[in-house]
A and B are shown apart, each in its own frame.
Chain A
Amino acid sequence: MPQKKYMEVPSDEPRGRNISSYFRTLSIKSKSSDEVGLNHVVPAPGTPVSRLQTLKNSPESHRHVGADSDDDWNANVDSFDSPPPKHIEHIPRRSGSVHSLGPGLVMSQANTSGPLRRTPQLEASPQLEALYPSLTPARESPGMRASPGRDPAPDDLATSAQIEELNALNAKFLRFKKVITADNVNLAELKRLSWNGIPRELRAVSWQLLLGYLPTNASRRSDALARKRAEYTDGVAQVLGADHTRDTAMWHQIAIDVPRTTQHIKLYTYAATQAALQRILYLWAVRHPASGYVQGINDLCTPFFQTFLASHAPDVELCDPALLPRATMDAVEADTFWCLTKLLDTIQDNYIHEQPGILRQVRELEGLVARIDAELVVHLRAQGVEFMQFAFRWMNCLLMRELNLEMVVRMWDTYLSETPLGFATFHVYVCAAFLVKFADELKDMEFQEVIMFLQNPPTRDWGVKNMELMMSEAFIWQSLYKNAAAHLRA
């Protein structure tokens, strides 16, 4: 049973420390963000920068919250070990316009085969600083800020918080860039950084490196990619060719699922997208006869597809792939296939006959929650609620039905940095944190309400802060329990 092995966390020691301090910071922040809500607002007037906004695009709540905890952030920002406040770049998309980083900062026009050649635009960062020399404001003492008696002009406060966040973003970006542009990428380092979220512009490359799809050795990349992409094209030609007997039941199942995949995002309503997903899923299914296509795998395609496509289409959610160059789309499709394959390799027993991986995870989840909040489990049992009734889907679709796609993507930054066990093992701890978050409410509910609540949890509007808090909690549970596996077999 390969899955029995529990976490090997790479160079765990410093990270462990950081995460818990991160966790403390986050709990404070997240509370306030809950109170304020996560509404988009117009940035404060007089902010220097239309440019800034495109980079930043942060809800007001985040800004205030950021202002509250500047010390923590500043203390952390300069250290590699610490979690930078990366959340600003992951705010859920509501309005189309705010999102792209602006043409000057989108890092990729070329195909992914030459990620490193795209770096010139990264050099925009010093330029950016030159444009806004006042980006580093003199630090006020925290006391001054927090003092309720004094009332600093809210604009100033917001602006300086904004600037600090930008600087943090920039610093983070440079740290990633340094790792990724090395001749030989230090994977352990990339994992460590990625745990706390990957900058949007570097995500495609980072994911491909973390999954082992892209070679760490820069000189081998373009050959390797060319080979894999050709292999995919050949594979598709073969299984769709005249010599291959079509598995009609499987083809049909995929064909009815693809048009109902992520339909609320325009990208997935286009024929070109659906045709690509159909090919990807069918080829994967044919190549993995032990499981074949299982509903839910269609969902797992989308974070890859969208992330890789975003390198070529700034407004990816509205993009019609048919309008992109053929070679670009072929590359995105092939990369999606291979990365999906890599991911599914780590959770294969979720989808084979009787889905033992999922049954195990649901059992583990129940055991874990019994440890964390015994009262909750007692209550659920008394109400006749079985974990299988709500958690099956959490495992089968990796919480993709409960969270918006943007948050799933952020979650995958962390999961991929836990490769190879992120999706099989760490996910269970995340689900525990997810459930326990609602423990108080659930304890006041009867069977029917519990099921309805968990079928439709109030998490589709969650933002990055909620996600990061949840994952930090999961990390703590994992640190506490991963080597004490006896509870999972209870």
Chain B
Amino acid sequence: MSSRKKTLLKVIILGDSGVGKTSLMQQFVNKKFSHQYKATIGADFLTKELPIDDKTVTMQIWDTAGQERFQSLGVAFYRGADCCILVYDVNNAKSFESLLAWKDEFLIQANVSLPETFPFIVIGNKIDIDENKRVVSYKKAAQVCQQLGNVPYFETSAKDGINVEEAFDVVSRNALQQEEANDEFNDDYNDAINIHLDGEAGNCTC
């Protein structure tokens, strides 16, 4: 191995069940869409090599299960993340309301060192569906994202491949920034297991 480590960006996709997390990942990585994706159990994993400016990075994407029951295993997947994508369905109000809960859940379980600066982005998916069925307006969503801490917001159709590239481009840039910040922070950054994790997570809920 070379002395300079390959740049790996770890990205987590979160959001309610059925909002299109798997479809987004598949559209971004494989440029395809299918109606036949099964419900994700635990988390699925894909990677993609990306050019960012003059360097090539590898993005590792964890597409997680949306059902609440699976949240307890987030720890196994969230740790060491460089960016977190929060997805909702613009035609489903509840999935929009869950965004904040997903963000908090992530911060707790990922044990992020500087929660205020950790990069999130929000994606409103399924904009291909009939405009009449839409229940969350762009304006409302953009406003909430601002309240969440100026989180970048994109509206996409994973089905038609609309805006997916653009969203992931921001994801990769923000993730790279985070990764480099982490690197400076932590000389020997190698995803080591944080032995304090359990204790800390437990304490703060007391």
Chain A contacts to B: CB under 8 angstroms = 253, 256-257, 260-261, 263-264, 292, 294-296, 298-299, 351, 353-355, 359, 384, 386, 388-390, 392-393, 396-397, 401, 448, 451-452, 455
Contacts and interface: CB of A to CB of B under 8 A. Distances in A.
A253 B67 contact: yes
A386 B58 CA distance: 20
A386 B17 contact: no
Given A295-B69, A384-B191, A452 B45 contact: yes
B43 interface: yes
A486 B42 CA distance: 28
**6 A-B pairs with least C-beta separation:** A388-B76, A392-B42, A256-B18, A393-B41, A393-B42, A354-B72
A256 B72 CA distance: 22
Contacts of B67: 253, 294-295
A396 B41 contact: yes
16 contacts: A257-B17, A260-B39, A292-B69, A294-B67, A295-B39, A355-B70, A388-B73, A389-B43, A389-B77, A390-B42, A397-B41, A401-B41, A448-B47, A451-B45, A452-B46, A452-B47
B69 A455 contact: no
Interface string B34-59: 01111101111111000000000010
A351 B68 CA distance: 12
B15 to A, nearest CB: 13
B86 interface: no
Contacts, number: 71
B29 to A, nearest CB: 11
A253 B190 CA distance: 38
B60 interface: yes
A255 to B, nearest CB: 9
B164 interface: no
A298 B69 contact: no
B45 A455 contact: yes
Contact of A392 (B35, B37, B39, B73): B73
B11 interface: no
B41 A296 contact: yes
Contact of A257 (B39, B42, B72): B39
Nearest to B34: A263
Nearest to B92: A252
A351 B69 contact: yes
Nearest to B36: A263
Contacts of A384: 190-191
Contact of B38 (A260, A292, A294, A455): A260
Contacts of A386: 76
A253 B17 contact: yes
A359 to B, nearest CB: 8
B83 interface: no
Contacts of B35: 263
A309 to B, nearest CB: 21
Nearest to A383: B191
Contacts of A257: 17, 39
Contact of A295 (B45, B65, B190, B191): B65
Contact of A294 (B18, B36, B69): B69
Contacts of B42: 388-390, 392-393, 396
A467 to B, nearest CB: 21
Contacts of A294: 67, 69
A264 B39 contact: no
Contacts of A261: 38
A22 B131 CA distance: 62
A397 B65 CA distance: 13
B34 to A, nearest CB: 9
B48 to A, nearest CB: 11
A448 B41 contact: no
A470 B38 CA distance: 26
A448 B47 CA distance: 8
B69 to A, nearest CB: 5
Nearest to B44: A455
A355 B72 contact: yes
Contacts of A260: 36-39
Given A264-B36, A448-B47, A295 B72 contact: no
Nearest to A255: B18
Most buried by B among A263, A296, A298: A296
A264 B38 CA distance: 10
Nearest to B41: A393
A380 to B, nearest CB: 13
Nearest to B47: A448
B23 to A, nearest CB: 11
A203 to B, nearest CB: 25
A453 to B, nearest CB: 10
A117 B183 CA distance: 73
Contacts of A354: 72
A384 to B, nearest CB: 5
Given A260-B39, A263-B38, A384-B191, 15 more contacts: A260-B37, A261-B38, A292-B69, A294-B67, A295-B41, A299-B38, A351-B69, A355-B72, A355-B73, A389-B76, A392-B42, A396-B41, A451-B45, A452-B46, A455-B44
B38 A401 contact: yes
Interface in B91-127: none
A384 B73 CA distance: 16
A292 B69 CA distance: 10
A448 B69 contact: no
B41 A392 contact: yes
A295 B60 contact: no
B22 to A, nearest CB: 10
A178 to B, nearest CB: 41
